[in-house]
Amino acid sequence: MECEEARGLLDPFIDGELATPQELESHLAGCADCRAELSRRRDLVRRLRAGLSYHRAPPGLAARLAPSAVGPAPARARPGWRPMALAASFLLAMLLSGGIGYLASPPPASDTLAQQVVDSHVRSLLANHLTDVASSDQHTVKPWFDGRLDTAPPVSDFAAQGFPLVGGRLDYLDHRPVAALVYRHRQHPINLFVWADPSRQGPAAGSLERQGYNIRHWRQGDLAFWLISDADSATLARLEELLRGGQSSGD
């Protein structure tokens, strides 16, 4: 698939309207330019949807816009043209009064970061690149990050609790390199992104859902943690609980 064809499919892909998205996903896995374009379009859609406002029409508006209320159309005009024009003018005024101002403002930082987390998780699955270091031994995975990041992440294995450690890799989020620790629960791969956040200005703890993926995030000390998987939210909550305990114990 060429880039031009791929970009023509991005909008229906975002809307979930592609019946067979596998070919496009394969192209995205190997094309950084198209992934960047996909991220840009998703960001625009997200901002537009967040900025939409809905208002109930005032009483009598429909009657005033009806052809009988407007009067007979001029001889050369198409029947119904004036109501359509009035409605279009009304919508244009709404867009000009509110839409442009919103588009000029950036989306919330937490929303942008959540989409980056989703994109990185999907990319790791499409490219079959879950790990740079594949090991269930925390004493192998943690030292691998030494010299690659300013702060090595805490690493624990929870195989006994149903969350075996698979390995780790370097990733890139929020304009910085981050650690990605990979766990598995049954057939569900789980990415845990960890990075130093000494300013503690990032979003506080919370949970959300994006594109069918469950996400949980929190801060502990100077570190930020973002957990994502297609596993159910209760499963991720259990892993978060284990991770918080493991971090507190100094693993």
More confident of the two residues 216 and 98 = 216
Q: 46 and 118 in one domain?
A: no
Q: 185 and 116 in one domain?
A: yes
Range of the domain at 36: 3-51
Contact 41, 13 (CB under 8 A): no
How far is the C-alpha of 140 from the C-alpha of 85, rounded, in Å? 68
Structure tokens at 113: 């970061």
Q: 235 and 160 in one domain?
A: yes
Q: What is the pLDDT of residue 2?
A: 86
Residue 134 lies in a domain: yes
**Mean pLDDT, residues 193-201 taken together:** 84
pLDDT (tens digit, 9 = 90+) per residue, 133-178? 999 999 999 999 999 998 889 999 999 999 999 999 999 998 889 9
Residue 29 lies in a domain: yes
Q: 115 and 7 in one domain?
A: no
Q: What is the pLDDT of residue 161?
A: 96
Q: 243 and 131 in one domain?
A: yes
Contact 138, 155 (CB under 8 A): yes
Is 80 exceeded by the pLDDT of residue 34?
A: yes
Least confident of 12-21, 82-91, 197-206, 235-244: 82-91
Contact 149, 177 (CB under 8 A): yes
Residue 84 amino acid letter: M
Residue 212 lies in a domain: yes
Most confident of 20-24, 171-175, 234-238, 243-247: 234-238
Q: What is the pLDDT of residue 129?
A: 86
Q: 113 and 47 in one domain?
A: no
Query: Three-state SS across the chain?
Result: CCHHHHHHCHHHHHCCCCCCCHHHHHHHHHCHHHHHHHHHHHHHHHHHHHHCCCCCCCCCHHHHHCHHHHCCCCCCCCCCHHHHHHHHHHHHHHHHHHHHHHHCCCCCHHHHHHHHHHHHHHHHHHCCCCCCEECCCHHHHHHHCECCECCCCCCCCEHHHCECEEEEEEEEECCEEEEEEEEEECCEEEEEEEEECCCCCCCCCEEEEECCEEEEEEEECCEEEEEEECCCHHHHHHHHHHHHHHHHCCC
Q: How many residues does the chain have?
A: 251
Residue 97 lies in a domain: no
Q: 125 and 239 in one domain?
A: yes
The position carrying tokens 């001889």 is: 75
Number of domains the chain is built from: 2
Contact 227, 216 (CB under 8 A): yes
With bands split at pLDDT 50, 70 and 90, how would you rate the model's confidence at 104? very low
CATH number at residue 234: 3.30.200.100
pLDDT (tens digit, 9 = 90+) per residue, 45-95? 766 666 555 566 677 766 666 665 555 555 554 544 455 555 556 556 555
pLDDT (tens digit, 9 = 90+) per residue, 105-144? 445 556 889 999 999 999 999 877 899 999 999 999 999 9
With bands split at pLDDT 50, 70 and 90, how would you rate the model's confidence at 97? low
Residue 95 lies in a domain: no
Q: 122 and 19 in one domain?
A: no
Residue 177 lies in a domain: yes
Q: What is the pLDDT of residue 229?
A: 96
Q: 228 and 131 in one domain?
A: yes
**Mean pLDDT, residues 242-247 taken together:** 84
Of the residues 35, 51, 67, which one is the last residue of a structural domain?
Answer: 51
Residue 7 amino acid letter: R
Is 90 exceeded by the pLDDT of residue 237?
A: yes
Residue 226 lies in a domain: yes
Residue 88 lies in a domain: no
Q: What is the pLDDT of residue 12?
A: 81
